[in-house]
Chains A and B, each alone.
Chain A
Amino acid sequence: MSTMAVPDVAVAAVDQGFWTRNRKVGLVLLVLGLLAAVLFGALATDQQARFTLSEDAAGTALEINGTFGAILFGVIALAAGAALLAAVPKRWFLLVLGVGLVAFVLSFLCWQVSAAPAGQNFMPLVNIIRGTFILALPLIFGALAGVLCERSGVVNVAIEGQLLMGAFSGALFGSISGNVWVGLVAAAIGGAFISLLLAVFSIRYLVDQTVMGIVLNLLAVGVTGFLYERLMQTNAERYNSAPRFSNWEIPLLKDIPVLGPALFRSNIFLYLGLLLVLVIHIGLFRTRWGLRTRSVGEHPTAADTLGVRVLRVRYRNVLLAGVVAGIGGASYTLALYSFTKNMIGGKGFIALAALIFGRWNPTGALLAALFFGFADQLATYLGAINSVIPSQFLAMLPYLATILAVAGLVGRVRAPAADGKPYVKG
């Protein structure tokens, strides 16, 4: 507290020198743009790179000459970098950075698509967008669970376990009852169960929250694995054949070109995920619940002196997080696949990265999740067109980006001040 007394005049007087953060980012972007224009431009072929507005090669397409496109977008990225280097106003920073990064990716795609084997040099945008959202979906639910938990000051490393437990109980009770809705509720309860353990041990018994989260992940793997072998494998018919939500077409929206077929002919989970992002974002910043949640995550003692019941807020948020993650788990077993051992496969931890990348903000988490989902989808696509870039290399890039982001390159990342600190009265 004592250092907070530094008057703001002193802050303004601090001379950051020429290399502000924006300029450093600009320099990186400039180098990337140069790389794209020269290298991608050289490697691209003279074939047309086609981005079709459908699920296959047919129909209308955006076309551009491969070499020309790679160089053009490379130069755009380069220009964006140069603009940042020349110090654009602060509020333009994110926009210019976004344009630069997208241009870099487009340059890369022009090279890849134009260099693909004959007959395959097209990219079906509908498939790419749909795939991006499907792959991002568990990350969205997981990261939202993280937001709910950590904004109230409880570190949630147990997202993986919550997703897995949700997937498992969704499959089990969905199968037994033969009803998707029963499965959905069971999934929510399954996720909340893991949350309850996290809440009781970290809030009541003050166990280290990170350690507790890891233990709960292992517990979820163990319990679901054991029951999977005992029940589901012996009698898959009865215990592991849950009904699935069918796709719902949203009137009007489904007719939007590209986005319509990609997003609005999907199952309930995609709609629910997007809706939850909106609801939690508004809730967090515009309602009493949100104000209290954030105060408890930042300065629980202050909240307590104003009559906010700190522990109750934390219990409630941790449980809500479990519900959200549990539903996220069910997006696997009640829509896509039957349950398999450890089927979440680390997505919970990636959701944690999305949470941090998205700066503990629901909308930020959504964008981060989509970024990861897109990279994942791109890796699959490049595999399909026999790209020279190993798909594993591409799959690695988002995490590299996360490390850079967490290290503070894309703005200061600040966790809620009381995140991970148990609250003890007095």
Chain B
Amino acid sequence: MEPGEIHALLGENGAGKSTLMNVLYGLYQPDEGEILVDGEPLKLRGPSDAISAGIGMVHQHFMLVPVFTVTENIMLGAERTRGGLAGFLDRRRARREVVEVSERYGLRVDPDAVIEDLPVGIQQRVEIVKALTRDVDLLILDEPTAVLTPQETEELLTVMRSLKAAGKSIVFITHKLGEVKAIADRITVIRRGKTVGTASPEASRDELAALMVGRNVRLTVEKAAAKPGKPVLEVAGLVVDDDRQIRAVDGMDLTVHAGEVLGVAGVQGNGQTELIEAIMGLRPTLAGSVTLDGEQIDGWSTKRVLRAGVGYVPEDRSVDGLVKEFSVAENLVLDIYDRPPFAGGLALKRDAIAASAKERIEQFDVRTSSAAMPVGTLSGGNQQKVIVARELSRPLKLFIAAQPTRGVDVGSIEFIHSQVIHERDIGTAVLLVSSELDEVLGLADRVAVMYRGRIIGIVGPDTPREEIGLLMAGITPEAATEQAEARPATDGDAPTSEEEE
């Protein structure tokens, strides 16, 4: 790393990017090898060593105490005290420092706000301020854009440029090629824990992708035009609360036709999770109706919904999708274990389960040494294939896939995508929810953008990303044109002249 450089660390999920950075931040201990800072080997026993060596990190999952204020979070671990044994906190001074740093780098935060009341983008800003108050020279950003809208991402890139101008080095971990090309000075590509190459930002997307996965991959999904049939899923006026009794889905209407993929795009936390859970009978609906093939299914038990011909890939496979300790074979029949041919009388028919498992492991390319392995020992991609295999083995009317490729390697992504398209082509209605805009645009025949519990717009998959990004931020095209006229380019305040110094 050079001073004042933005170095992108590019790699697939599970390639070892985050692990490497956690070692650099002192959270994990290296088994072998050493870290050099200014030519000196550095021994990190914990994060406090890393901080004093000038290394700061913004974690993928924010490291903020939700019930603390911004100031409290920022001063934690490096508290300003009024001296003396008791260690009384000097809140006023800490607060002043927060204000100072946030003004110096243009990172506006309210020092007295409580974290849990802040939107994700602001929380991330707090994380960056937290690192900056510790006088770091090297800032590690671990997948910082995963939870941001395209506009917030743009803001973040601006912030990164101004940090660079101030002489800070930044390690930018991501698997999104576009962002890398937009901002990085140098790119290191990692695959399976090894550096496989460095590249300059001038390299083409295809080159970078090839380095990342080790072979040429299709970035787009090949598919024929959809032949939408009759409506299968109809959601009307649906109202659902989240776990905290706060309205998450707020009067939502949505129709999915047979033989089409409807993609739901949106920033996480705009009610996507609650919508899917309500359709699946996992969460009570407060108002509105859900109909499947003309039959009202809201209020049904989940089992009944599944039996009615709904396939479901939950967004968090380790919590809702699989029983990790159970074998692959058992996980493959979790939905129909109590029916023939897998059950007879009170007993499970082990032979039938094993035989069907073998068949499906082959059909869905699940890489496991045996069907008897606990499913938790498989890689993320193969675990996901087990779920897809299970859900697609029943005759379906509706297939719901929530974040179907989260934390999955590129090879498996391709396979899962082709399965989704295949399911569409045999006439199933597909409802796809994903926080990866690329995935939604690649698979969907229609894109519904969800914002604060409602569909704010339905557009075609060839709509420009910018327009969808604005929709994700709650700005409809009409409002956007008005705003564009009223707003002189605020994004342009990154001092380009200073960058050249």
Residues of A in contact with B (beta carbons under 8 Å apart): 1-11, 13-14, 283, 286-289, 291-292, 294-295, 298-299, 301-309, 417, 425-426
Which among A6, A14, A287, A291 is the interface contact of B86 at CB below 8 angstroms? A287
Determine the chain A residues whose CB is within 8 A of the CB of B64 once the complex forms. 299, 302
CB-CB under 8 A for A6 and B51, given A287-B88, A299-B66: no
Please name 8 pairs of A and B residues whose Cβ atoms are closer than 8 Å in the assembled complex, sorted by A.
A1-B62, A3-B248, A5-B147, A14-B245, A14-B247, A305-B27, A306-B47, A308-B77
Which among A3, A6, A13, A295 is the interface contact of B76 at CB below 8 angstroms? A295
- Asked whether, in the complex, the Cβ of B68 is within 8 Å of the Cβ of A295, the reply is yes
Chain B residues touching A, majority SS? loop
- Asked whether, in the complex, the Cβ of A302 is within 8 Å of the Cβ of B63, the reply is yes
CB distance from A56 to the nearest CB of B (A): 45
Q: Let me know if B87 is at the binding interface, CB within 8 A.
A: yes
Determine the chain A residues whose CB is within 8 A of the CB of B244 once the complex forms. 3
Determine the chain A residues whose CB is within 8 A of the CB of B273 once the complex forms. 2-3
- Asked whether, in the complex, the Cβ of B453 is within 8 Å of the Cβ of A417, the reply is no
- The answer for the CA separation of A105 and B116 in the assembled complex, in Å, is 39
- The answer for the CA separation of A363 and B242 in the assembled complex, in Å, is 33
- Asked whether, in the complex, the Cβ of A7 is within 8 Å of the Cβ of B452, the reply is yes
Chain A residues touching B, majority SS? helix
- Asked whether, in the complex, the Cβ of B119 is within 8 Å of the Cβ of A298, the reply is no
Which among B28, B66, B116 is the interface contact of A426 at CB below 8 angstroms? B28
CB-CB under 8 A for A306 and B246, given A288-B81, A292-B76, A295-B68: no
Which among B47, B68, B269, B270 is the interface contact of A305 at CB below 8 angstroms? B47
CB distance from B260 to the nearest CB of A (A): 27
- Asked whether, in the complex, the Cβ of A8 is within 8 Å of the Cβ of B67, the reply is no
Determine the chain A residues whose CB is within 8 A of the CB of B267 once the complex forms. 5
Which among A2, A9, A304, A309 is the interface contact of B268 at CB below 8 angstroms? A2
- The answer for the CA separation of A291 and B269 in the assembled complex, in Å, is 29
- Asked whether, in the complex, the Cβ of A286 is within 8 Å of the Cβ of B77, the reply is no
Task: Beyond A11-B117, A295-B65, A302-B62, list 14 extra A-B contacts (CB 8 Å).
Answer: A2-B268, A4-B120, A5-B147, A6-B246, A7-B119, A10-B247, A10-B452, A14-B245, A291-B75, A294-B65, A298-B66, A303-B65, A303-B77, A426-B22
Determine the chain B residues whose CB is within 8 A of the CB of A291 once the complex forms. 72, 75-76, 79, 89
- Asked whether, in the complex, the Cβ of B81 is within 8 Å of the Cβ of A8, the reply is no
- The answer for the CA separation of A370 and B322 in the assembled complex, in Å, is 50
- Asked whether, in the complex, the Cβ of A426 is within 8 Å of the Cβ of B27, the reply is yes
Determine the chain B residues whose CB is within 8 A of the CB of A10 once the complex forms. 246-247, 452-453
Which among B65, B88, B119 is the interface contact of A286 at CB below 8 angstroms? B88
Q: Let me know if B57 is at the binding interface, CB within 8 A.
A: yes
CB-CB under 8 A for A425 and B27, given A6-B242, A6-B246: yes
- The answer for the CA separation of A46 and B86 in the assembled complex, in Å, is 58
Determine the chain A residues whose CB is within 8 A of the CB of B76 once the complex forms. 291-292, 295, 302-303, 306, 308
- Asked whether, in the complex, the Cβ of A302 is within 8 Å of the Cβ of B65, the reply is yes
- Mask, B81-118, CB within 8 Å of A = 1, is 10000111100000000000000000000000000110
- The answer for the CA separation of A299 and B115 in the assembled complex, in Å, is 12
Determine the chain B residues whose CB is within 8 A of the CB of A2 once the complex forms. 268-269, 273
User: Residue among A283, A287, A307, A417 with the most chain B CB within 10 A?
Assistant: A307
- Asked whether, in the complex, the Cβ of A4 is within 8 Å of the Cβ of B116, the reply is yes
Residues of B in contact with A (beta carbons under 8 Å apart): 22, 25, 27-28, 46-48, 51, 57, 59, 61-68, 72-73, 75-79, 81, 86-89, 116-117, 119-120, 130, 147, 242-248, 267-270, 273, 452-453
Q: Considering the complex, give the chain B residue whose CB is closest to the CB of A1.
A: B61
Determine the chain A residues whose CB is within 8 A of the CB of B89 once the complex forms. 286-288, 291
CB distance from A57 to the nearest CB of B (A): 48
Determine the chain B residues whose CB is within 8 A of the CB of A306 once the complex forms. 47-48, 51, 63, 76-78, 130
CB distance from A308 to the nearest CB of B (A): 5
- Asked whether, in the complex, the Cβ of B87 is within 8 Å of the Cβ of A417, the reply is no
Determine the chain A residues whose CB is within 8 A of the CB of B27 once the complex forms. 304-305, 425-426
Q: Considering the complex, give the chain A residue whose CB is closest to the CB of B61.
A: A1
- Asked whether, in the complex, the Cβ of B75 is within 8 Å of the Cβ of A417, the reply is no
- The answer for the CA separation of A426 and B46 in the assembled complex, in Å, is 12
- The answer for the CA separation of A426 and B78 in the assembled complex, in Å, is 22
CB-CB under 8 A for A14 and B246, given A291-B89, A301-B63, A307-B48: yes
- The answer for the CA separation of A399 and B345 in the assembled complex, in Å, is 49
Q: Considering the complex, give the chain B residue whose CB is closest to the CB of A300.
A: B65
Which among A3, A7, A294, A305 is the interface contact of B63 at CB below 8 angstroms? A305
Q: Considering the complex, give the chain A residue whose CB is closest to the CB of B241.
A: A14
- The answer for the CA separation of A306 and B55 in the assembled complex, in Å, is 11
Which among A7, A14, A299, A307 is the interface contact of B65 at CB below 8 angstroms? A299
Determine the chain B residues whose CB is within 8 A of the CB of A287 once the complex forms. 81, 86-89
- The answer for the CA separation of A5 and B246 in the assembled complex, in Å, is 12
- The answer for the CA separation of A298 and B67 in the assembled complex, in Å, is 8
Determine the chain B residues whose CB is within 8 A of the CB of A13 once the complex forms. 247
Q: Considering the complex, give the chain A residue whose CB is closest to the CB of B51.
A: A307
- Asked whether, in the complex, the Cβ of A305 is within 8 Å of the Cβ of B87, the reply is no
- The answer for the CA separation of A304 and B273 in the assembled complex, in Å, is 30
CB distance from B57 to the nearest CB of A (A): 7
Q: Which 9 A-B pairs have the closest CB atoms?
A: A5-B269, A307-B48, A306-B77, A302-B63, A288-B87, A288-B79, A299-B65, A305-B63, A307-B77
Determine the chain B residues whose CB is within 8 A of the CB of A426 once the complex forms. 22, 27-28
Q: Considering the complex, give the chain A residue whose CB is closest to the CB of B84.
A: A287
Determine the chain A residues whose CB is within 8 A of the CB of B81 once the complex forms. 287-288
Q: Considering the complex, give the chain B residue whose CB is closest to the CB of A3.
A: B242
- The answer for the CA separation of A9 and B77 in the assembled complex, in Å, is 32
CB distance from A2 to the nearest CB of B (A): 5
CB distance from B112 to the nearest CB of A (A): 14
- Asked whether, in the complex, the Cβ of B47 is within 8 Å of the Cβ of A304, the reply is yes
- The answer for the CA separation of A11 and B62 in the assembled complex, in Å, is 22
- Asked whether, in the complex, the Cβ of B246 is within 8 Å of the Cβ of A417, the reply is no
Determine the chain B residues whose CB is within 8 A of the CB of A7 once the complex forms. 119, 452
CB distance from A122 to the nearest CB of B (A): 47
Determine the chain B residues whose CB is within 8 A of the CB of A295 once the complex forms. 65, 68, 76
- The answer for the CA separation of A7 and B51 in the assembled complex, in Å, is 32
CB distance from B377 to the nearest CB of A (A): 18
- Asked whether, in the complex, the Cβ of B86 is within 8 Å of the Cβ of A298, the reply is no
Q: Considering the complex, give the chain A residue whose CB is closest to the CB of B28.
A: A426
CB-CB under 8 A for A307 and B46, given A5-B269, A6-B242, A298-B67: yes
Q: Considering the complex, give the chain B residue whose CB is closest to the CB of A292.
A: B76
- The answer for the CA separation of A11 and B47 in the assembled complex, in Å, is 36
Determine the chain A residues whose CB is within 8 A of the CB of B453 once the complex forms. 10
Q: Considering the complex, give the chain A residue whose CB is closest to the CB of B272.
A: A2
- The answer for the CA separation of A303 and B79 in the assembled complex, in Å, is 12
CB distance from A288 to the nearest CB of B (A): 4
- The answer for the CA separation of A282 and B247 in the assembled complex, in Å, is 38
- The answer for the CA separation of A313 and B471 in the assembled complex, in Å, is 46
Determine the chain A residues whose CB is within 8 A of the CB of B86 once the complex forms. 283, 287
- The answer for the CA separation of A8 and B47 in the assembled complex, in Å, is 33
Determine the chain A residues whose CB is within 8 A of the CB of B78 once the complex forms. 306-307
CB distance from A203 to the nearest CB of B (A): 17
Q: Considering the complex, give the chain A residue whose CB is closest to the CB of B78.
A: A306
Determine the chain A residues whose CB is within 8 A of the CB of B243 once the complex forms. 3
CB distance from B72 to the nearest CB of A (A): 6
CB distance from B455 to the nearest CB of A (A): 16
CB distance from B86 to the nearest CB of A (A): 6
Determine the chain A residues whose CB is within 8 A of the CB of B269 once the complex forms. 2-6
Q: Considering the complex, give the chain B residue whose CB is closest to the CB of A306.
A: B77
- The answer for the CA separation of A10 and B76 in the assembled complex, in Å, is 30
Determine the chain B residues whose CB is within 8 A of the CB of A299 once the complex forms. 63-66
